[in-house]
Amino acid sequence: MKPRRFRLCAVGALLGMTFVLAATLSADDGPNHQIFQARATIQLGTSGGNIKDRSKAFCCSGTLGALVTRAGVKHILSNNHVLARTNKGSVGDDIIQPGLIDQNPVCSQDVNDAVADLSEWEPILFTKGTTNIVDAAIAQVRDGMVDPEGSILDIGKISADLATAAINMPVKKSGRTTGLTLGVVAAVNVTIDVKYGSVCGGGRGTARFRDQIRITPGSFSAGGDSGSLVVEDVVEDLNPRTMPVGLLFAGGSNDTFANPIQSVLDAFEPDVTMVASTTGGTAFWKWLGRFLPATQTAHAANPAHRPIDPASQAAATQAKERHEQAVMRIEGVVGLGVGASDVAPDEAVVEVYVKRATPAVRAAIPAELDNVQVKVVETGEITARTDACHLDR
């Protein structure tokens, strides 16, 4: 058995996270997600990726997100750009744990660390005028490598039911770089332009995605968290609900973006389903529940899941769809979505995402679309959320 090891080499790695549930607690901020795990009991939410994901100067890794099954065979679920090198992978490629950036020495390609074989991926389209829904891939688990129940570090077993993202929904994820983090769904029906391939991966360019989920705060994820499973974060009567919501794949300076989980599963044929528990949760959460009131609707760090007025959301969605192409042509705009008003929290607005909210950019964006308020959100450039190490490190 290999020794436990930890090598931090991250572009924009973000550590020092804390999370709150009724009181401030200390959360794993990443290190336990980056080390070698004992085979047969590997949990997900851990460092991993394609053994070939390196260039002359860099190597890259992301997160092995969750366990799925197809025709009774277990597979690891993550992103195309994590497992399949952004369209350039080959069926049968070694998927390793930990990933190249956490190897010792860094970027070493140790075939003994292979835990799965690349099976299938949804191609990412870069041609102008094309759109994408998911950045997803699966890899068939090698016998005796991964926890067969699909436990995720700091989350445990996930619930069997899937959840549809809703504005203000509290969520959490477990990923390679920032570990366990809590957030809230800030917008749905999101269209964004995502940059790929700055240093690693096969495909390069900007790909447009539709029907995505925007999550805040900015500390929810960082480079290396790509592939993490986003789950609902609700505790009811001491029972944690951990229904899958999305698959994390991209981020900006203050935001994280995820594919809806149902769209991810629908991308694979024959059918792929989550390996899940009928109850979800971990012994930790059950232990913690003894110290909480009988019913908690969400973690204290985020607002309760306050619903948006359905008629208002429908109007904002219609306005967003009608004007999307025109707004996306404005220089500096990288996306649109439907979120909550800062003035009337139960009302929906059209969000416009920009690299920099300069006066010139703000002036070019209308204040309203079809009588629906427009909110400008500075996201910075939105990029695929892998992490890279230089070969000399």
Strand ranges for 79-169 from DSSP E? 94-96, 114-121, 137-141
Grade residue 26 by pLDDT with cuts at 50, 70 and 90: very low
- Domains, the chain, with CATH or none: 22-303+382-390 (2.40.10.10)
For Cα atoms 272, 187, 67, give the angle at the middle one, nearest 5 degrees: 20
Q: Are 154 and 180 in contact (CB under 8 A)?
A: yes
**Which tokens in the block code for residue 127?**
């041609």
- What is the pLDDT at residue 306? 81
Q: How far apart are CA 362 and CA 191, in angstroms?
A: 19
Residues in the chain: 393
CA dihedral 24, 25, 31, 36 (to 10 degrees): -150
- What value does the mean pLDDT take over residues 349-375? 98
- What is the pLDDT at residue 283? 47
Q: How far apart are CA 218 and CA 259, in angstroms?
A: 17
**Which tokens in the block code for residue 345?**
């929290």
- What is the pLDDT at residue 277? 74
What does pLDDT average to over the chain? 87
- What value does the mean pLDDT take over residues 175-180? 96
53 secondary structure, DSSP code: -
Percent of the chain exceeding pLDDT 70 equals 83
Q: Of 154-163, 253-262, 308-317, give the lowest mean pLDDT range.
A: 154-163
- What is the pLDDT at residue 270? 85
Among 1-10, 282-291, 358-367, top mean pLDDT goes to 358-367
- What is the pLDDT at residue 366? 97
- What value does the mean pLDDT take over residues 60-64? 96
Which helix (H) or strand (E) is 244 found in, with range? strand 244-251
Q: Three-state SS for 278? A: coil
Q: Of 125-129, 183-187, 287-291, 340-344, give the lowest mean pLDDT range.
A: 287-291
CA dihedral 389, 143, 152, 219 (to 10 degrees): 20
Q: How far apart are CA 54 and CA 33, in angstroms?
A: 21
Grade residue 304 by pLDDT with cuts at 50, 70 and 90: low
CA dihedral 186, 192, 196, 202 (to 10 degrees): 110
How many CB atoms sit inside 10 A of residue 154's CB? 22
- What is the pLDDT at residue 117? 98
Is the pLDDT at 27 greater than 80, yes or no? no
